């Protein structure tokens, strides 16, 4: 099993974003698998998106994002929200580079090897953060629709697209992934028997429920983490 610790004692860093209206806590099993393999994981809760978030001044704010039921309008909202999340991820990277994070666990962080990752809308945000930020070496999109703005410069950094194998066909998603990987800068990994929600801790909470987590839902987070490690190993 690959260990991420570099020769100088530093560790690669993954900045991670959860799905829409979700919390970093549903990323726990995935993050623990990475951490056990020598990776520092920083998982975000996005203010006004995650169910509850504590701001820097101690204020608690609740999620306020709502879809409208109009597909075109909701797609535009999702594009906008992915951009906001990408900005949040880049703000975390700003803090890491400024030395202001101040956490002992980050003293051995290798800031030359930062990966962005996320589930669902968080995956779209991870792709955008990597596309926009030269400090990011690559991105992992865990079953998220890519949302690169039209006519924007494409992402050419290493990419891992982790796809739920137990899902109904979605031609728009497949086409978006084809476009994302057209530069031959990444790969698509399909997790058989795992649904969209089986990629996170839901499968560990409710068990293997077909149609919700998939027949292999409880293994989804670990499998997604192992695929994430493949990308980190390739970049190292």
CA nearest neighbour of 144 among 9, 17, 41: 17
Q: Rounded distance, CA 168 to CA 31, Å?
A: 27
Convert the pLDDT of each residue in 26-54 to its tens digit.
999 999 999 999 999 999 999 998 889 98
Is 72 buried (19+), middle (13-18) or exposed (0-12) by CB count in 10 A?
exposed
This prediction's pTM: 0.92
Share of the chain above pLDDT 90, in %: 70
**pLDDT at res. 2:** 35
Query: Which two tokens mark 150?
Result: 């039209």
First to last CA, the chain: 15
Task: Identify whether the C-beta of residue 4 lies closer than 8 Å to the C-beta of residue 39.
Answer: yes
Sole residue written with tokens 């800068």: 185
CA 77 remoteness from chain centre: 19
More confident residue, 9 or 23: 23
Convert the pLDDT of each residue in 179-218 to its tens digit.
999 888 899 999 999 999 999 999 999 989 988 999 999 9
């Amino acid at each position: 099993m690959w260990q991420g610790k570099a020769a100088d004692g530093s560790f690669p860093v993954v900045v991670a974003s959860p799905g829409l209206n979700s919390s970093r806590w549903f990323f726990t099993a995935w993050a623990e698998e990475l951490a056990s393999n020598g990776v520092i994981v920083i998982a975000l809760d996005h203010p006004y998106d995650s169910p509850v978030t504590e701001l820097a001044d101690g204020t608690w704010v609740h999620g306020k994002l709502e879809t409208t039921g109009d597909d075109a309008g909701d797609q535009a909202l999702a594009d906008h929200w992915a951009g906001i999340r990408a900005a949040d991820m880049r703000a975390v990277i700003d803090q890491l580079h400024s030395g202001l994070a101040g956490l002992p666990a980050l003293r051995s962080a290798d800031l030359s090897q930062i990966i962005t990752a996320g589930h669902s809308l968080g995956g779209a945000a991870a792709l955008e953060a990597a596309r926009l930020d030269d400090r990011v070496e690559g991105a992992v999109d865990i079953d998220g629709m890519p949302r690169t703005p039209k006519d924007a410069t494409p992402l050419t950094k290493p990419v891992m697209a982790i796809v739920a194998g137990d899902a109904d066909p979605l031609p728009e998603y497949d086409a978006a992934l084809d476009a994302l990987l057209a530069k031959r800068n990444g790969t698509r990994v399909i997790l058989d028997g795992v649904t969209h929600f089986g990629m996170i801790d839901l499968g560990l909470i409710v068990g293997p429920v077909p149609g919700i987590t998939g027949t292999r839902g409880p293994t989804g987070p670990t499998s997604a983490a192992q695929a994430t490690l493949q990308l980190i190993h390739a970049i190292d």
